Structure 1
Amino acid sequence: MTIDTSAIPPYTLIAEGLEGGARRWLVVTPDGARELGEGVGLGELLGGDAEAFRAALAAARPVPHRAVRLAAPVDSDTEVWAAGVTYTVSREARMEESEQSADVYEQVYDAERPELFFKAVGWRVSGPGEAVGVRADSTWDVPEPELAVVCAASGEIVGATVCNDVSSRSIEGENPLYLPQAKVYRGSCAIGPWIRLAEGVGDLLTLGIEAAIERDGGPLWKGDTTTARLHRTPAELADWLFRGDDFPRGAVLSTGTSAVPGPEVTLEAGDRVVIDIEGIGRLANPVLRGKAGFGR
Structure 2
Amino acid sequence: MIRTIRFLHPVTRTPHLGWLRGDEVVSLTSAVPEWTDPLAPWRALRALGIAAEAGLAKVAERALRVRWQDLVDGRLLLPPVAAEEVWAAGVTYERSRVARNAETKLQESVYDRVYEAERPELFFKATGRRVVPPLAPLGLRQDSRWMVPEPELAVAITASGEIVGWTLGNDLSSRDIEGENPLYLPQAKVFARSCSYGPALLWNTGAQDPRSWQMEMVIWRQGQAVYRGAVPIRQMRRSAEELIAYLLRDNPILDGTVLFTGTGIVPPDDFTLQPGDVVDITVDEIGTLRNPIVAGGVKNCSLHDGQ
Give TM-score, length-normalised by structure 1. 0.87
- In the alignment, residue 236 of structure 1 is paired with which amino acid? E
Map 1:4-23 → 2, pairs under 5 A: 10-18=1-9, 22-23=14-15
Pair 1:200–1:268, CA change in 2 (3 A): farther
Name the SS of the counterpart of 2:211 in structure 1: coil
**Partner SS state of residue 219, structure 2:** strand
Equivalence for 2:33: 38
| Alpha-carbon distance change, 106 to 294 in structure 1, aligned in 2, over 3 angstroms | same
Is the 2:84–2:254 contact (alpha carbons within 8 Å) kept by the matching residues of 1? no
Q: Deviations over 1:139-174 (max 9, x none)?
A: 000000110011112201120000001100000000
- In structure 2, the residue corresponding to 1:14 is in which secondary structure? strand
Task: For residues 208-245 of structure 1, give each alpha carbon's deviation from its aligned partner in whole angstroms, at most 9, with x where no partner exists.
Answer: 01101111111111111011100001111111112222
Contact 2:96 2:264 in 1 (8 A): yes
Which structure 2 residues correspond to residues 77-88 of structure 1 after superposition, within 5 A? 78-88=84-94
Structure 2 residue 251 is matched with structure 1 residue 245: yes
Matched, 1:210 2:205: no
Residue identity in the other structure for 1:61: V
Classify the secondary structure of the residue corresponding to 2:123: strand
The one-letter amino acid of 1:16's match is F
Tell me which residue corresponds to 2:125.
119
Asked if the contact 1:94/1:102 (under 8 Å) is kept, the reply is: no
**Aligned positions of 1:87-126 closer than 5 A:** 87-99=93-105, 102-126=108-132
Shift of 1:35: 0.9
Q: CA deviation at 1:202?
A: 1.7
* Unpaired stretches in structure 1, ≥5 consecutive residues: 1-9
Q: Tell me the distance in 2 between the aligned counterparts of 1:137 and 1:148.
A: 28
Distance (Å, rounded) in 1 between the aligned partners of 2:277 and 2:216:
17
- 3-state SS of paired residue (1:243): coil
Kindly tell me: are residues 130 and 66 of structure 1, through their superposed partners in 2, closer, same or farther at Cα, counting changes over 3 Å? same
**CA offset at residue 104 of structure 1?**
0.5
Matches within 5 A, 1:1-296: 10-18=1-9, 22-28=14-20, 33=26, 35-36=28-29, 37-42=32-37, 45=40, 51-52=46-47, 58=55, 61-62=59-60, 63-67=63-67, 68=71, 69-75=76-82, 78-99=84-105, 102-199=108-205, 202-291=208-297, 292-296=299-303
Q: Distance in 1 between matches of 2:119 and 2:130?
A: 28
User: What is the root-mean-square deviation in Å for CA atoms of aligned residues?
Assistant: 2.9
Unpaired runs of at least 5, structure 2: none
Distance 1:217 1:200, change over 3 A: farther
**Cα contact 2:81–2:156 (8 A) shared by 1:** no
**Matched position secondary structure for 2:155:** strand
**In 2, are the aligned partners of 1:149 and 1:252 still within 8 Å (CA)?**
yes
* Identity level (%): 40
Structure 1 Cα separation of the partners of residues 42 and 249 of structure 2: 17
Amino acid across the alignment from 1:27 = W
Q: Normalization by structure 2: what TM-score?
A: 0.84
